[in-house]
Structure 1
Amino acid sequence: MSHLPHHGRYAYSAISDRPDFHWPGGRRLAVYLGMNLECFAFGEGLGAELAPGGPQPDVLNYAWRDYGNRVGAWRMLELFDRLGVPVTVLANAWLYDEAPGLIEAFRARGDEIAGHGRTNAERQGVLAETDERALIAEATAILTEREGQAPKGWLGPWISQSAVTPDLLQEAGYEYLLDWCHDDQPVWMATRQGRILSVPYPQELNDIPQIVGRKREGADFADMICDAFDVMLEESARRPLVMGIALHGYLMGHPHRLRHLARALGHMQDRGGDAVWWTTAGRINDHFRSLGR
């Protein structure tokens, strides 16, 4: 009998068969917002597109992305302040120099700052192991210096991983990663020198796949958030769940989309009340680890 190649990181586990547990305060649904703060190279490299790009320098798409750091992210920060919700910042390390004060403004709110590579103009998964290790080390060193503490979590630029990325992250001191969208609960992943926790990160409730990839607009994306929340809130009575929402300033920070994001988050606050743990990916990691599983 033939067998499919397997990653060897975790075994199959049906979510309905796992031991029960609670989030802090007996709550059952953990919600976090993954706020991607990213920078891009001018005239080269990767980047999401508003419209099909022309020859480099592709001013249209570069400037559209730059709007997110100059305007959109700040507009979203004001919304998060009004609603009183924390976020996990997924930070490109070179952004400290490209957009001075932006990451610092989220830090001032008490938000978590997690690693997200050097820039989203590159992928790490295509690099040789020595080069990927160097990328992780450089980004980690910058975040550690600027924040005064090492980041606990990592999301690869473009969700890009090589066959050894979990190993390299664990060896670099990371406690959790966000690249695998395979579950609604944290999952331990094996590495060559121990293990690392996979915290759920969304690819459906993610503005890039929906708005850029599937050409849906802000109203549809907000409806998806509301629908997912309603289902997961009801389901969480049977099992604890994690609901993440992935956001980018150059997408949801535009005025015509922000009003729909505000509507969705307001719906979640009104419906969830005290039953929902509004938190960060890092605190989800901390609590799950404290369970001793």
Structure 2
Amino acid sequence: MTTRKEFLKTAGLLSMAGMVGPSALAASPARQTKPVSSWADGSRLVVSVSMQFEAGGQPVNAESPFPQNMAKGYKDLPSETWYQYGYKEGIPRMLDNWDKLGIKVTSHMVGSAVLKNPALAKEIVQRGHEAAAHGRDWATQYTMSYEEEKQFILDGVKAVEQVTGVTPKGYNANWLRRGENTLKILQELGFTYHIDDLSRDEPFIIQVNNKDFVVVPYTLRNNDIVLISGQWFSTDQFLQQVKMEFDQLYEESAYRRRMMSVSFHDRIGGSPQMVKAASELFTYMQKHKGVVFKRKDEIARLALADKSTIRE
């Protein structure tokens, strides 16, 4: 079968010679439909859901939908209640919805948020969801020294371990902004994967400290904090955009290993309208043959065990 590179080269030469018109190009070989890569467990398309557990760990006067016009020296009290919604209403509502849908998710947990709401963190794990690390608090870790960052990550891990009894295997930096030393530190601390990467629609393996380390790509396209909290989209627009992304990835998954990431934040994705949208969205996905939902630690294990996983 003619490769894409060979076809483009041939078509270009013929076109310059005036021998190829639109009708001839239309009759060119179709895209290869025989699978060139696939999931080792037989899945067609893997969907991975993130549920950020951050509320309660935010700094004073953190970013919020309110105008950033607080006078210096005063506390933004309404903004604090917006964050409180995340652990009072948001996560509990999402947990019920995941149970209803039969989906297990990955919860990226900020250490200080977990310590302030330990019962909720325990419940997340008890319901079968993954507890992943998300730092000690919302500090900017890429500016830290090697030792400072290592302690920062370790403090977050210890908080999750202390409350849930689980040692996180995956990591997510605040706004994905890791530093030059982050991956080396994660490898040293026993992590197996991180998500602070947007470069692919499937997991891949990199070398860190001369050892395999998995990248389970994240998303900004299917992310409530970017689209909904950012006030660019309404809930129905969010639903339509994510559905369109799913449809395209499902089509591609007929011949290529594909993973779809969708992200929800406690105080945003846990609102009634967003939970309703998520229910409609995932019910739609579940009607498609071969679609499975996996925690990110499961995806990382599959990637490590599969010799055909992309390596960079």
**Pairwise same-fold verdict (TM > 0.5):** yes
For 1:33, the equivalent position in structure 2 comes to 49
Moved more, 251-260 or 233-242: 251-260
For 2:8, the equivalent position in structure 1 comes to none
CA RMSD of aligned residues (A): 2.0
For 1:250, the equivalent position in structure 2 comes to 267
TM-score using structure 1 length: 0.86
Q: How far did 1:19 drift?
A: 5.7
Q: How far did 1:39 drift?
A: 3.1
Q: How far did 1:214 drift?
A: 5.2
1:110 equivalent to 2:128? Answer yes
For 2:153, the equivalent position in structure 1 comes to 136
- The answer to whether the 8 Å contact 2:169/2:193 transfers is yes
Q: Which runs of 4+ in 1 moved over 6 A?
A: none
- The answer to whether the 8 Å contact 2:121/2:163 transfers is no
For 1:264, the equivalent position in structure 2 comes to 281
Q: How far did 1:257 drift?
A: 2.5
Listed one character per residue, the Cα deviations across residues 22-50 of structure 1 (whole Å, up to 9, x for unaligned) are 242x11211111000113457626x3411
> Percent of pairs identical after alignment?
26
For 2:89, the equivalent position in structure 1 comes to 71
Give the Cα separation in 2 of the matches to 1:60 and 1:95.
Answer: 19
Instruction: For residue 288 of structure 1, give the secondary structure of its aligned residue in structure 2.
Output: helix
- The answer to whether the 8 Å contact 1:184/1:241 transfers is yes
Segments of structure 1 that go 5 or more residues without pairing to the other structure are 1-15
Instruction: For residue 101 of structure 1, give the secondary structure of its aligned residue in structure 2.
Output: helix
Moved more, 187-196 or 214-223: 187-196
Structure 1 residues 155, 257: CA separation in 2 closer, same or farther (over 3 Å shift)? Answer: same
Give the Cα separation in 2 of the matches to 1:287 and 1:170.
Answer: 18
Q: Where do 1:74-113 residues align within 5 Å?
A: 74-113=92-131
Structure 1 residues 42, 280: CA separation in 2 closer, same or farther (over 3 Å shift)? Answer: closer
- The answer to whether the 8 Å contact 2:55/2:267 transfers is no
Q: Where do 1:40-189 residues align within 5 Å?
A: 40=56, 44=60, 47-53=62-68, 54-55=70-71, 56-119=74-137, 121-189=138-206
Which amino acid in the other structure matches residue 102 of structure 2?
G
Which of the residues 296, 306, 310 maps onto 1:281? 296
Give the Cα separation in 2 of the matches to 1:41 and 1:80.
Answer: 24
Which of the residues 220, 228, 235 maps onto 1:218? 235
Instruction: For residue 151 of structure 2, give the secondary structure of its aligned residue in structure 1.
Output: helix
Structure 1 residues 186, 43: CA separation in 2 closer, same or farther (over 3 Å shift)? Answer: closer
Instruction: For residue 223 of structure 1, give the secondary structure of its aligned residue in structure 2.
Output: helix
Instruction: For residue 118 of structure 2, give the secondary structure of its aligned residue in structure 1.
Output: coil
Which amino acid in the other structure matches residue 99 of structure 1?
N
Give the Cα separation in 2 of the matches to 1:213 and 1:202.
Answer: 15
Moved more, 194-203 or 107-116: 194-203
For 2:19, the equivalent position in structure 1 comes to none
- The answer to whether the 8 Å contact 2:104/2:295 transfers is yes
TM-score using structure 2 length: 0.81
Which amino acid in the other structure matches residue 187 of structure 1?
F
Segments of structure 2 that go 5 or more residues without pairing to the other structure are 1-32
